[in-house]
Amino acid sequence: MSRDGQARSGELVLNHGRTETPAFMPVGTNATVKAMRVEDLDALGVRLILGNTYHLALRPGIDVIKEAGGLHRFMSWPHAILTDSGGFQIFSLAALRRLDEEGVSFRSHIDGASHRLTPERVVELQCDLGSDIMMALDICTPPDAGREAAEAACARTTRWAARALAARRAVRDAAAGALFAVVQGNFYEDLRERSASDLVAMDFSGYAVGGLSVGESAETYRDFLRLSVGFLPAEKPRYVMGIGTPEYVLDAISCGVDLFDCVYPTRTARNALALTRDGTLSLRWHENRLDGRPIDPKCPCPVCGSYSRSYLRHLFKAKEILAPMLTTYHNLFFMQELIQEARAAIRERRFEAFKTGFLSRYRERRVREGGEMTARGIDRRIGGCGG
């Protein structure tokens, strides 16, 4: 592993191959990274994607995926998959959820059917999916939850993590994936520390920092990310959930995070927002009508090699499927390049200079236009990272 300040670059060895870190995981909510073919993800160098256990359990149903021989075979993806626990979606999407010490009951946001998840069941579901990295079921609390609720949720998350780990250790299948735990603790320093130290003592394969970008300020987010990562062991992989803008990814890398996932590059693409070195570009804008330039004249991706802003604008205006196909490809190419350059910068011990240089150019246009960023995207229209 290479280190440069807190930033680090290495390699994860998983059941479905190796993944260089830092790694950005495109989100494959419904067993597909939206508008992307698996061959294209492969060609982009993507070696790890995220699947959403909650979504897959509701549709098509885990039985369908198990029958297919697991999620990799079902979606024809040869490389690694990290699956979340479903906890975040239960708290953000499900109707009528009810939490008790044993687990959580909820109604599907799709058809209202009742479901029950426990820490043990979530491990079982992820084993059925054939996940390379499984996440323990955790409890996320909002910034205004209050000390008492935050402490209770944090303590329960730790007890659930212990049950998840016991369930994982009981699995006799040698091909079962690694299990990561999720640090909670809301926005209380001592709770974050207690959560991390209790989980680290249990010796999980890796750790995620949860309960961030749930409505707190950018400053609070940054403080609590740094604080939480500081409690994690250097030799284990670290994952921050729901991070996907270039700013937040580079910031997370700078404090020593290895893995991120977010719908940001794919969802913005479907909303006609292209990522460029000079910030984001809205392809719907009228000023692109006759613009023969590609999204980014210096981008070496095949989309920029063949298509103009004028053409892409037309495709979005005409609601053509090719519009999200091409823009998603470009945006994921952009994220892959960003991460690859970040890795190289860490290896060459020039990461802070790379980050500063990248962001000053990237932000210039937006600062000029007065936009504002959140960890999960540019604005409400683009929405959160829940899937």
Binding site for a copy of itself (CB under 8 A): 30-32, 34-38, 59-60, 63-64, 67-68, 74-76, 289-290, 292, 306-308, 310-311, 313-315, 317-318, 320-322, 324-326
Angle between helices 246-254 and 322-347 (to 10 degrees): 20
Choice between 30 and 282, CB closer to a copy of itself: 30
Closest CA to 138 of 244, 214, 42: 214
What string of DSSP letters covers 257-320?
--EEE-SHHHHHHHTTEEEETTEEEETT-GGGTT--S-SSTT--SHHHHH--HHHHHHHHHTT-
Q: How far is the C-alpha of 172 from the C-alpha of 154, rounded, in Å?
A: 29
Angle between helices 322-347 and 309-317 (to 10 degrees): 130
Least CB distance from residue 194 to a copy of itself, whole Å?
A: 40
Q: How far is the C-alpha of 307 from the C-alpha of 331, rounded, in Å?
A: 14
Choice between 249 and 273, CB closer to a copy of itself: 273
Q: How far is the C-alpha of 323 from the C-alpha of 316, rounded, in Å?
A: 6
- Any idea how long the chain is? 387
CB 261 within 8 A of CB 19: no
Least CB distance from residue 310 to a copy of itself, whole Å?
A: 6
Choice between 143 and 302, CB closer to a copy of itself: 302
Least CB distance from residue 45 to a copy of itself, whole Å?
A: 19
HSE value, Cβ hemisphere, 13 Å, CA-based, for 150: 20
Choice between 8 and 313, CB closer to a copy of itself: 313
The yes-or-no answer on residue 258 being catalytic is: no
Name the residue type at position 337: E
Least CB distance from residue 152 to a copy of itself, whole Å?
A: 35
Least CB distance from residue 46 to a copy of itself, whole Å?
A: 15
Q: How far is the C-alpha of 275 from the C-alpha of 291, rounded, in Å?
A: 17
Choice between 61 and 230, CB closer to a copy of itself: 61
Choice between 47 and 55, CB closer to a copy of itself: 55
CB 332 within 8 A of CB 24: no
CB 185 within 8 A of CB 211: yes
Choice between 60 and 383, CB closer to a copy of itself: 60
Least CB distance from residue 383 to a copy of itself, whole Å?
A: 17
| Residue tagged 């984001």 (tokens) | 280
Active-site residue, from 4, 138, 198, 261: 261
Least CB distance from residue 381 to a copy of itself, whole Å?
A: 19
The yes-or-no answer on residue 84 being catalytic is: yes
Strand partners, 282: 273
Contacts of 346 (CB under 8 A, 6+ apart): 2, 3, 4, 7, 8, 9, 22, 253
Active-site residue, from 84, 138, 198, 258: 84
Least CB distance from residue 284 to a copy of itself, whole Å?
A: 12
Contacts of 234 (CB under 8 A, 6+ apart): 8, 256
CB 289 within 8 A of CB 40: no
Choice between 326 and 346, CB closer to a copy of itself: 326
Among all residues, which ones are annotated catalytic?
A: 84, 261
